[in-house]
Chain A
Amino acid sequence: MTAPRFDSTIHAATRLQLCAMLAEVDAIDFAAVREDLGISDSVLSKHVKVLADEGYVAVKTYKSGGRSRKRLAFTKIGAQAYAGHIAELKRLIG
């Protein structure tokens, strides 16, 4: 059980959605996240950078069909921070 802990880095609507997606998979394509969140490349990149700078998200580049693509995954501390943040939100709601 993760200890409840508010995390201001995660606590933004877009980043919460992004983290909720990452928490359910091993990794997900950047393009798939952008499509589901309905935001532009640049906006998603900014959110990813905020999480990556905290060490919460790992970005991997790979080649597919001759094109360079990005894939996002939670790091261990990112997954722990998200779980702690969710626990705190649930605690606040009661």
Chain B
Amino acid sequence: MHDIRLRKPMANPSAAYGAAPPSGVHHQTLAGLLVLASLAVLMLVGSRVDPAFGTFAVLGVAIGGTLQRSRFCFNSAFRDLIQFRSGRTMKGVIVGMTVATAGFGIHMRNLLPNPSLGPIAPEAHAIPLSVALLVGGMLFGIGMVVAGGCTSGSLYRIGEGYLASWVSVAGILAGLVLASHHWNWWWQHAIRRAPVVWLPRYLGYGGAVAATLVGLGLAYGLVLWIESRGGVGVQEFTAPASVRSFHEKLREIVAAVFGRGWPAPVGGAVLGFLNVLSYTAHMPWRVVGELSRWGNAAAAVVGLGPGPLQGTDELSACVVTVGGGVFTHGFLLNVGLIGGSLAAALLAHEFKWRIPRRPVRYLQSLGGGVFMGYGSGLALGCTAGAFFSAVPSLAVNGWIFAMALVAGASIGLRAINWIP
């Protein structure tokens, strides 16, 4: 038996999370509802300016809430598999990509009925297979393990009150600015002539979806095999069998959704579904293209802007960007993500200002962030854009990026062992 055992029998399932005061509503519940209400007002006001404003703000909030509830951490998906042979989170990631693969396939067929002619479906995350993708993936893998979270992870942890995540994001922005300065070199020497391998061009949509699903099935099998070789299982929380009355059942549902963490496959499936919605509204879920815009705008203020970037209009996914308005869809996704995570953390009574006590942790967050920023600049995306949204885009680059991430995460784990 390796399940969580609460010290007292759970007469009240909601007692499983943050102890509520004996009477009245917990102050974090009130704060969470207030955050949700403020987000709703912002969306309604914004939707009068642009209808898509509301859509992407809602998607951002939903993605942030899902990441927080399921503790969906791409970093731990790779790290736990390597370190503990535990595939708990990675299985959730694979479930999410499976859901998105079907949805992306249908949507891309609507966008571009005949994929064999040459062009790639608009906004699909099909990225050139170049050395930059490999180097970028490895740097990103190192950075996420050292910083203790990837880009989307750092954003949702800002919502949970992690001070170090602000430092990580600052590092990511700095890394993206640096990558923007080096961009033209990488474009000329590596990315420009590299091939894009988008499966529907060769296999049609049906074949490409089937091949990707088989690939995901094999990946799931590989995770199971790794677990069977001395991995440690973690049992998901199960509802107490004693729940009977309607009132108790309602309370149990509320506790399961808002209180306890969601099982990884549930989080993955919801995230995959939200990704499909995001693509049908405009573009797959992506994070760092927008962050590069923030970084470069800030750099330009102090005279360190990167200047014109070559070839970026020929590329999709999270290509480094300069300029543009403030309220883009990417802005709403990223800022909504932080707001959604904050609301979810408050409703679960899990918000807390988390302040590292060891100064070296700030250095790790900053350094890891710079590695992630530079790596995602080269690879045209992070674990969200170049992996979670790339594999369902039916492009080979998502798989290559994942392999580079594994290599980088292994190096990152060695580095972590030297830092007490």
Is chain B a partner of chain A in the same complex? no
